[in-house]
Amino acid sequence: MEQVSGEVGAFQVAVRKKARYVNENLCTGCGACAEKCPTMVVDVFNAGLGNRKAIYKYFPQGIPSVFTIDAAACRQLGQGKKCGVCAKVCQAKAVDYDQKDTLIQLEVGAVVIATGYEVFDPSVIPEYGYDRIPNVVTALEFERLLSASGPTAGHLDRPSELALVKEMEEAEKEHKKLQRQVSQLEEKHGKPSSEIVAAFQSGTLPDDADLRNWALLAQDLASLEARLDSMNRRKATASVARKLAFIQCVGSRDFRFNPFCSSYCCMHSVKEAMIAHEHDNGVHSSIFCMDLRAVGRGFEEYKLRGGKQANIRYIRGRVAEITQDEALNPVVWYESTQNRQVVHETFDLVILATACVPSPGAAELARQFQVELDRNGFFKTDPLAPLNTSRPGVFVCGCAQGPMDIPESVAQASSAAARAAEIVAPARQAVG
């Protein structure tokens, strides 16, 4: 949204529709373009744990269910290279590299702000090791690992093992390249590489640039083969995560960052632990919390069922630090409130229940609509009318108002739609 004016019942809103570079009226969503696209980029929807093509769908349930091109990553659009593969394979002729942004003028009677939220960046808490310890992830990243449509098809592969597989793929490509170059030199000179390397190391190799290059390539090949052998041994001993630790209130209820409770994190961790156990009955989870806030209908019973049926252990205590051992296993250090001692425990994977924070564009949107934000950066509403912002005709729902779970967000969305309908629907004539 770029501009708004008017008043309740007669708002004028200017919205910029960004170029998709795919004609949504022609695209059938068949996926042939993504299948043939040669460019791979990091998949943000999967929290950076997987890759996608430069032409892709935002997410599987997106509406309209058509493809879009990531212009910055596209060879044709962003890199100035000749490609055009997606346009060639698209039978519907939907790919349009010349498509431009369009500005849409809307006249509306009411506005519902539903901007959602962002998750807190735990890297600003160095003691938890996020972005430094590979097997420490956020709850959102773990959610994608659990998903059948996620980067691991629902298997609890640890990020360290995922990184190892990627590293091995790159190393194997480099190995093939070096092996081909060394083999060509062996055929050219009719000698084995071992003889040239031995002469190079003893200082008896003739002063020949071609032979010197051969020796260096052969040494690089041997070093890479040793590295691949080490990685193969690590891969052979790798296993899925079965011992999980959930750390609550990461960035929430913390005056350094966000003093408020994020509301849904406790039950979200219980749910993820239960789903992990359903996927693999060998999974054991420990949830570290100051207190577990199961405030919804049936939530307390759900929490207790997790403890009885899903191998969930609830530990009251604030985690002080997370380190890692030589096998890249996270080690959680915490104070036991039972014996008042600092203890540590090793886990396969640590999940950080990060805070719910306002969307980055909330402040600018509030300025354009001339509505107020509360002290935490969410849209401020009337305590007695929780959908009403400080401007008539502008309503809010979901996590734009504050942290809440999905059922509450859906209920608020229905209520906000009803409030907006009261304004735009024609007034009913009184029945005499």
Q: Report the CATH number that the domain containing residue 297 is assigned in CATH.
A: 3.50.50.60
∠ CA 314-316-319, nearest 5°, is 105
Q: Tell me whether residue 381 is in a domain.
A: no
Same domain membership, residue 244 and residue 132: yes
Same domain membership, residue 172 and residue 137: no
What is the Cα–Cα distance from 19 to 70, expressed in whole angstroms? 10
**Of the candidates 324, 357, 390, which is a domain's last residue?**
357
Residue 87 has pLDDT above 60, yes or no: yes
Same domain membership, residue 66 and residue 77: yes
Q: Tell me whether residue 32 is in a domain.
A: yes
Mean pLDDT score, 45-50: 88
Residue 427 has pLDDT above 50, yes or no: no
What is the Cα–Cα distance from 116 to 177, expressed in whole angstroms? 48
Residue 317 has pLDDT above 90, yes or no: no
Residue 58 has pLDDT above 90, yes or no: no
Percentage of residues in the chain with pLDDT exceeding 70?
98
Q: Tell me whether residue 334 is in a domain.
A: yes
Mean pLDDT score, 93-115: 94
Q: Tell me whether residue 146 is in a domain.
A: yes
Name the amino acid, one letter, at 33.
C
Q: Tell me whether residue 166 is in a domain.
A: yes
What is the Cα–Cα distance from 249 to 263, expressed in whole angstroms? 10
The domain total for the chain is 3
∠ CA 316-321-323, nearest 5°, is 125
Name the amino acid, one letter, at 222.
A
- Among 18-22, 75-79, 123-127, 406-410, which is the least confidently predicted range? 75-79
257-301 pLDDT tens trace: 999 999 999 999 999 999 999 999 999 999 999 888 888 888 999
What pLDDT was estimated at residue 293?
A: 87
**Of the candidates 317, 337, 357, which is a domain's last residue?**
357
What pLDDT was estimated at residue 429?
A: 42
Structural domain containing residue 313: 119-158+240-357
Q: Tell me whether residue 349 is in a domain.
A: yes
- Write the CB contacts of 305 (distance below 8 Å, at least 6 apart in sequence): none
Same domain membership, residue 262 and residue 199: no
Q: Tell me whether residue 13 is in a domain.
A: no
Instruction: For residue 284, give both structure tokens.
Output: 């054991």
Instruction: For residue 309, give both structure tokens.
Output: 């049926």
Q: Tell me whether residue 131 is in a domain.
A: yes
Name the amino acid, one letter, at 220.
D
Same domain membership, residue 265 and residue 144: yes
Reading phi first (left if > 0) and then psi (alpha if -120 to 50, else beta), residue 168 is in alpha
More confident residue, 348 or 235: 348
Same domain membership, residue 187 and residue 166: yes
Same domain membership, residue 135 and residue 81: no
Residue 50 has pLDDT above 90, yes or no: no
- Write the CB contacts of 360 (distance below 8 Å, at least 6 apart in sequence): 118
**Of the candidates 192, 213, 237, which is a domain's last residue?**
237
Same domain membership, residue 278 and residue 321: yes
10-46 pLDDT tens trace: 999 999 999 999 999 999 999 999 999 999 999 999 9
Which residue do the tokens 């590295």 mark? 227
Same domain membership, residue 172 and residue 134: no
Residue 397 has pLDDT above 50, yes or no: yes
Same domain membership, residue 260 and residue 134: yes
What pLDDT was estimated at residue 234?
A: 87
Q: What is the CATH number of the domain that holds 54?
A: 3.30.70
Same domain membership, residue 347 and residue 261: yes
Mean pLDDT score, 308-313: 95
- pLDDT averaged over every residue in the chain: 92
Same domain membership, residue 281 and residue 181: no
Instruction: For residue 319, give both structure tokens.
Output: 């985690």
What pLDDT was estimated at residue 426?
A: 66
145-171 pLDDT tens trace: 999 888 898 889 999 999 998 899 999
- Could you tell me where the beta strands, DSSP code E, fall in 253-329? 284-289, 312-316, 319-324
What pLDDT was estimated at residue 431?
A: 40
What pLDDT was estimated at residue 291?
A: 86
What pLDDT was estimated at residue 420?
A: 93
